[in-house]
Amino acid sequence: MRVLVTGSSGLIGSALTGRLESLGHEVVRLVRSPGPTGPLEVAWEPESGRLDPRTLEGLDSVVHLAGESIASGRWSAARKARIASSRLKGTSLLASAIASLKDPPSSLICASAIGYYGDRGQAPLTEDSPPGEGFLAEVCSAWEAAATPAAERGIRVAHVRIGVVLAARGGALSRMALLYRLGLGGRAGGGGQYLSWISLEDVVGALCRLLGDGGMSGAYNATAPSPVTNAEFARVLGRVLRRPALLHAPAFALRMALGEMAKELILASARVLPERLIEAGFVFRHPDVEDALRAALL
């Protein structure tokens, strides 16, 4: 296939493009300024709405992963606006552009996040669960809705609600592993909040499966089938790294340091299950958190 990928330089995007190219697919990267540097790169500026649809001719599919990081700093009003805008404007622009083509791609695989579900305690959550409350839930709902022009054009659209991705370089795990190696590991808050995770290899595998299966559309939870509590994750990570996991970051201290970001990213609980991937027969390479951590870190 000829596949357009946005966010190709990110944690998931770089792993996905490598996998696709190894399988013989042609990957076209949608890139921001200073602009394309090769024949398989296309320029866009989602904030200003600049994307020439003519540059998108001849695509078989699109994987849209681009978006401002939600975990790289305290959420000021300006930062929250950038987080939302990067997702809504980019998705709307891309979906409208491919929908305008005479011969559009057959599918749009669009990233979303388990933030869609909000803070839901111990309740098991599947793709049929309603959206939650809070900033991330609102952003994710609007993010998914922004792909509507593509769906209305008859393009198959899949929304991939991605959990915490476990990878050695980049993402949350690399920061956590550093703390543990310094002897500063432990649970956050009460520790009973659920952490829904997935290995990098499995999220890439799920995206490839969605690309190749024309019968898969709608929402899919990209999480491992065995979410764990924050306290259990801390114990397992400490065991894998052979470091203590005895420290405790109190909820009030996290809220003071990180504000709303701590409430929604660290202290919120979402027990998310990949029901539709399992029903489709997807086989996880790393269904167990200790196996996933060992594969990523050792």
Q: Give residue 60's pLDDT.
A: 98
Pairing of strands 124-125, 271-272: parallel
DSSP state of 102: S
Q: Give residue 144's pLDDT.
A: 98
Cβ distance 179 to 252 under 8 Å? no
Q: Give residue 73's pLDDT.
A: 81
What predicted TM-score, i.e. pTM, was given to this entire model?
0.96
Q: Give residue 169's pLDDT.
A: 86
Q: Which residues of 173-205 are buried (b: 16+ CB within 10 A; e: fewer)?
A: beebbebbeeeebbbbbebebbbbbbbbbbbbb
Q: Which residues of 84-120 are buried (b: 16+ CB within 10 A; e: fewer)?
A: bebbbbbbbbbbbbbbebeebbebbbbbbbbbbbbbb
Pairing of strands 194-195, 228-229: antiparallel
Cβ distance 192 to 288 under 8 Å? no
Write out residues in the chain with pLDDT < 70, as ranges: 35
Superfamily of domain 2-297: NAD(P)-binding Rossmann-like Domain (3.40.50.720)
Cβ distance 151 to 103 under 8 Å? no
Cβ distance 100 to 152 under 8 Å? no
152: exposed, middle or buried (Cβ count in 10 Å: 0-12, 13-18, 19+): exposed
Cα 267 vs. chain centroid, distance in angstroms?
19
Domain range summary for the chain, segments of one domain joined by +: 2-297
For the record, the structure tokens of 215 come out as: 């019968």
